[in-house]
Amino acid sequence: MREIVLRDKAPEFLQTSVSATVPCLKTDAVVLDESLDIMLWALGIHDPEGWLRPAEGNLEQMLALITRCDGPFKIHLDRYKYHTRYEDAQRDHERTTASEFLIELNARLANRTWLFGSNASLSDYAILPFVRQFANTDRTWFDDEDWLALKRWLEAFECSERFQSVMPKWQRWTVDDRPIRFPA
């Protein structure tokens, strides 16, 4: 495992990742530099909690929801969070447009614990980081919204031992560092 500083990417990382983005997984056989591809690769090898087999719906439906998150929602999230980087971005408009997806998730979560039923699935863990990023852009505003089910879902994620275990800060990697195996 290597911690990459995005504003000062190591040459070795740039040689590995075609997109020069994180996360990036390099195995003996493949280089994956999209989060969803890494998740699908890992779950294809070992899926002990059945994340690819949701209690309701199917993988195709989960991937469709993830695609909407990673596409239209993410575009508006970026323009909301980093509105000064986009000449034509109007922060309130971007937040409102992104919120349409969150309203849909809130409705979906109103009568279930997870997006596709009573158990966590790929869709939950692929979408939750983006919802967290949106919420943390203006937490006061987010907390004032009437999204009780969505906030319960996000809070359960943020307070979970699983989330806490993957959030420690790591030292920036340099080529001379001793290898850190993941999981640490």
Rg (CA), the chain: 18
In a domain, 115, yes or no: yes
- Rounded-to-integer distance, Cα 119 and Cα 112, Å: 9
In a domain, 45, yes or no: no
What pLDDT shows up at residue 16? 87
In a domain, 154, yes or no: yes
**Domains in the chain, number:** 1
Sequence-separated (6 or more) residues with CB below 8 Å from residue 154: 128, 131, 132, 135
The total of other beta-carbon atoms located within 10 Å of residue 89's CB is: 16
What pLDDT shows up at residue 22? 83
Task: Determine the structural domain holding residue 144 and report its residue range.
Answer: 59-164
In a domain, 99, yes or no: yes
In a domain, 41, yes or no: no
In a domain, 110, yes or no: yes
Tell me the CATH number at 117: 1.20.1050.10
What pLDDT shows up at residue 183? 63
The total of other beta-carbon atoms located within 10 Å of residue 88's CB is: 7
Q: How far apart are the first and last CA of the chain?
A: 8
What pLDDT shows up at residue 74? 97
**pTM (predicted TM-score):** 0.90
- Rounded-to-integer distance, Cα 145 and Cα 95, Å: 12
In a domain, 100, yes or no: yes
In a domain, 68, yes or no: yes
- Rounded-to-integer distance, Cα 111 and Cα 56, Å: 12
| Phi/psi of residue 63, nearest 5 degrees | -65, -35
- Rounded-to-integer distance, Cα 93 and Cα 132, Å: 19
Query: Tens of pLDDT along 124-134?
Result: 999 999 999 99
What pLDDT shows up at residue 114? 98
Q: Which residues in the chain come in under a pLDDT of 70?
A: 182-184
How far is the CA of 21 from the CAs of 130, 154, 179, in angstroms? 16, 25, 20
Nearest to 134 by CA among 160, 171, 96: 96
What pLDDT shows up at residue 182? 66
What pLDDT shows up at residue 140? 97
What would the 3-class secondary structure string for 63-117 be? HHHHHHHHHHHHHHHHHHHCHHHCCCCCHHHHHHHHHHHHHHHHHHHCCCCECCE
Sequence-separated (6 or more) residues with CB below 8 Å from residue 160: none
